[in-house]
Structure 1
């Protein structure tokens, strides 16, 4: 039975990545649900599976997607564009793609023009940190002006990162005396496979660096703990919000090595933004992103409707800073209230902070869940596992010609999440049915 399930999962992933357009929501939803259900069946049958077989199966699925063009996201043209800019010794933070093409017609080529046509943000400065740019450069250097080649190289790099995640999870499960069967929930999770390997998002590398930080802390290599955490910020800014937890955790708060390691890593990651005042445009893009875009939100959408009712217009400009302030206060409160005494409690606090942050955001793309989901596997919390399924409802928006979100599907997604949060945090006397 297990070999048959594995074969069906492999076929399902291949079909989803190569043949189902994101506009066909019901077929996407049905296939995704089948893959998620198959993963859970394997998990419950996992007493018969060794981790080596799990690893090989998940790796083969990822390798089968090597030649697929990302269908769920159109971010990759910007990745390749920025890589070409760096390869040409251009600063991707100084000019928007639109401005660069207008001002450099002699340096342009058909490849860049094609990327420009595919791009979803040609009038914005790059919002990707310098560590991302280094990866983009590697892809551009090896692609030789070929889109498929660039996608392939990005995918190979991300798969290598995923292999690192697998073995760090394996090591840390052993450290925390957790069953290695939980690897199935990450390694065969359709959100993880489709959003990292399929759609080329870098949250898998963020998780890799956070896990490396945890592993270094478990071995009392405190300087590397700070260094890996600093690099995770350099990959995506979001782990910066974990800084209060390191002040509330005694081992890191009192460690000069931790703060020196993290400072060096952050300077190495972001020092490049000081060149030609690149940081000005970088922060400008971040501010525009935070104050303009909306997608798959929960509490924010409810408050926005109140704003419409009270003021008659979209209050995103007023609401976003308020929610950011509430988020900061909440993170400080949880860090002070929990005051983790050991590594397990520190990870549990990280998961809570990620959860609190995401439910208040105006933009919650599905791949944002992956770092917190990976970390949650060390805990008894199931909210992020449930959310990795429920988030598929957000892709309903792509079935609409105007990308309009249907409130019914948002309600379904966040109702499932609300039930999971209640189960995890407000019904402590009851153990989850998924606990093993």
Structure 2
């Protein structure tokens, strides 16, 4: 498995889909073999295997993602006491030729969105800054520092899962499904995405809540929003849980963390540009979608053009209504039910999105390990089909691979959420 991960990280570009798919499938299968055939495997061994695998990727330059040049770029600007939200990289080079360097020009050449303002919240920018401080104008060193930070975060996730598994009286071997999962290892450690840190903060929030440290729980949840905005959609669930709804300490902790996370955006026009980038992202980009693609095809058939600008506001409204409905309907009475509700909300959100990058699954997948739901585990395998698009010179997605991915997911969702309903109806009719 370690050889397979190293081969993926160091030698196989994302354009080579079939090699990536073959090795990824082998790694996923190896994880399942360890899970099902090692009933007495101690958590210490699981930890060592997963940690050594992550450390083996320490020097790899990401081959499955080109996001890291923007991370390093933003960090350099912060290091120079400049605001990364005020100018796009394209305009910054034009307006500050005296501050440009060969290093920044190299980052600019490999960047995937130089014409957009930064979309990364302030906590991300802090991490980018520390990376830039230590990199000393060397991209490989910057990548190494980012990866070291993310590995430390992953270690925190491992022990957070372990503590909560003990608290919820769940088997330790479930750690295998996260700690040795190829999607998690490749996307967090390999490709330097920050969803692992989001999961860490959500786990910390749950753990603090289990210890009745409500202010701390709210603070960790607020920081998770500061790392990636998506956990903000969980706010109705805290109103539906009596323990947090009535806790002034929880909401004060949340508010303080949010102020800490987003105060920088109040400088100059940062918040305007930040929201502008999010709006452009939601209204322009498409990747690995499901429901959205079906609606888009209807739009082509009816109107003859891509109606993304009309669909995305509707899907956003439906998502909000769905989150409110599920939070009101389920009314979680304890932390396991709260976590189960979070998993459902993440699933509902992702199914309706026009962009579903593979690493978006990681926080919800980690949370799903506290439930009996298997959809996100299965999706961490099926999502590899989305990488087929990078093998096409025009990044054209194949309807066949999209169908395979979401057909597999639909079976898993049916098994998790509708099979028991059918069984219940059958039982009721029989009686």
TM-score by length of 2: 0.97
Regions of 4+ moved over 6 Å: none
Deviations 1:390-433 (A, max 9, x none): 000000000000000000000000000000000000012799xx
| Separation in 1, partners of 2:260, 2:16 | 43
Q: 1:427 aligns with which of 405, 413, 419?
A: 419
Q: 1:262 aligns with which of 229, 254, 278?
A: 254
| Separation in 1, partners of 2:10, 2:170 | 36
Structure 1, gaps ≥5 residues long: 1-8, 432-436
Structure 2, gaps ≥5 residues long: 424-431
| Separation in 2, partners of 1:164, 1:392 | 26
| Separation in 2, partners of 1:341, 1:46 | 34
Q: Which SS does the other structure have where 2:188 is aligned?
A: helix
Q: 2:225 aligns with which of 227, 230, 233?
A: 233
- Equivalent positions of 1:308-387 (< 5 A) are 308-387=300-379
1:277: how far off? 2.3
2:179 alignment counterpart: 187
After TM superposition, the structure 1 stretch with the greater mean CA deviation from structure 2, 20-29 or 41-50, is 41-50
Q: 1:135 aligns with which of 127, 145, 152?
A: 127
- Equivalent positions of 1:165-314 (< 5 A) are 165-314=157-306
Q: 1:89 aligns with which of 73, 81, 93?
A: 81
| Separation in 2, partners of 1:419, 1:370 | 20
Deviations 1:322-355 (A, max 9, x none): 0000000000000000000011000000000000
Deviations 1:285-341 (A, max 9, x none): 000000000000000000000000010000000000000000000000000000000
Tell me whether 1:78 sits opposite 2:73 in the alignment. no
1:160 alignment counterpart: 152
TM-score by length of 1: 0.96
Tell me whether 1:125 sits opposite 2:120 in the alignment. no
Closer, same or farther: CA 54–429 of 1 in aligned 2, 3 Å: farther
What count of residue pairs does the alignment treat as equivalent?
Answer: 423
Deviations 1:153-202 (A, max 9, x none): 00000000000000000000000000010000000000000000000000
Deviations 1:77-127 (A, max 9, x none): 000000000000010000000101011111111000000000001000000
Q: Which SS does the other structure have where 2:104 is aligned?
A: helix
| Separation in 2, partners of 1:240, 1:304 | 27
Q: Which SS does the other structure have where 1:49 is aligned?
A: coil
Q: Which SS does the other structure have where 2:212 is aligned?
A: coil
2:429 alignment counterpart: none
CA root-mean-square deviation: 0.9
Closer, same or farther: CA 152–430 of 1 in aligned 2, 3 Å: farther
| Separation in 1, partners of 2:304, 2:403 | 23
Q: 2:7 aligns with which of 15, 32, 37?
A: 15
Q: Which SS does the other structure have where 2:158 is aligned?
A: helix
